[in-house]
Amino acid sequence: MPSFDVVSEVDQHELTNAIDQTRREVDTRFDFKGSAAGVERSDDAITVRGDTEFQLNQVRDILYQRIAKRGVDVAALKAEEVEMSGSQARQRILVRQGIDADTAKRIVRLIKDSKMRVQASVQGDKVRVTGKKRDDLQQAIALLKDAELELPLQYNNFRD
């Protein structure tokens, strides 16, 4: 029985490359000389630093441009509030991996409400869609692409 998985993943290698490119550009730009501007990465978040909120916004814009050029969807990032501490501004940007339970339920409900001849089930942080015909599965993919979901979705593990 044909099936595919709906996932929301970020290519970690490309994300690391984009952060390194951002770091290099910030280090070489004249308007950032002698400042605390920079980018750091932990496991599930990116920390952007700057002397002022304006400088922080510039570094964040550079980061987003580099991430988009590397083919990573910027919608997978969620920026938190800017924290001002002393003479520095910092902002954490969360990297969202996987589909959370509420979004998975919305995907399953969307597919069931469409009356297609496919079944959707939540399996951990992904949704598996199965059907008898490949055309039905392709219609389900088209339906999910048109849906207004806040996460970028990928469709993998397509099996006949």
% of the chain exceeding 70 in pLDDT: 100
Average pLDDT over residues 75-98: 92
SS3 99: coil
For residue 69, pLDDT over 90 is answered with yes
Q: Do both 25 and 75 map to the same domain?
A: yes
Number of Cα atoms under 13 Å in the Cβ half of residue 107: 32
Q: Read off the pLDDT band of 124 (50, 70, 90).
A: confident
Q: Token pair for residue 88?
A: 């520095």
Q: Read off the pLDDT band of 159 (50, 70, 90).
A: confident
Q: Do both 44 and 114 map to the same domain?
A: no
Residue 94 pLDDT: 94
Q: Do both 60 and 129 map to the same domain?
A: no
Q: What is the pLDDT of residues 28-49, one digit of tens each?
A: 999 888 888 999 999 889 999 9
For residue 93, pLDDT over 90 is answered with yes
Instruction: Kindly list the strands in the beta sheet with 77-85, ordered across the sheet, starting from the edge strand earlier in the chain.
Output: 38-41, 45-50, 88-95, 77-85
CATH number at 116 reads 3.30.70.860
Last residue of a domain, one of 62, 80, 95: 95
Residue 43 pLDDT: 84
- Are the beta carbons of 56 and 48 closer than 8 angstroms? yes
Residue 128 phi/psi, 5-degree rounding, is: -100, 130
Q: Do both 16 and 84 map to the same domain?
A: yes
Residue 150 pLDDT: 84
Range of the domain at 58: 12-95
Residue 149 pLDDT: 85
Distance CA 157, CA 150 (A): 22
- Are the beta carbons of 151 and 75 closer than 8 angstroms? yes
Q: Is the pTM of this model over 0.85?
A: no
- Are the beta carbons of 4 and 132 closer than 8 angstroms? no
- Are the beta carbons of 137 and 158 closer than 8 angstroms? yes
Residue 158 pLDDT: 81
SS3 125: coil
For residue 83, pLDDT over 90 is answered with yes
For residue 151, pLDDT over 90 is answered with no
Strand (E) or helix (H) holding 40: strand 38-41
Distance CA 58, CA 1 (A): 50
Nearest to 55 by CA among 23, 81, 26: 26
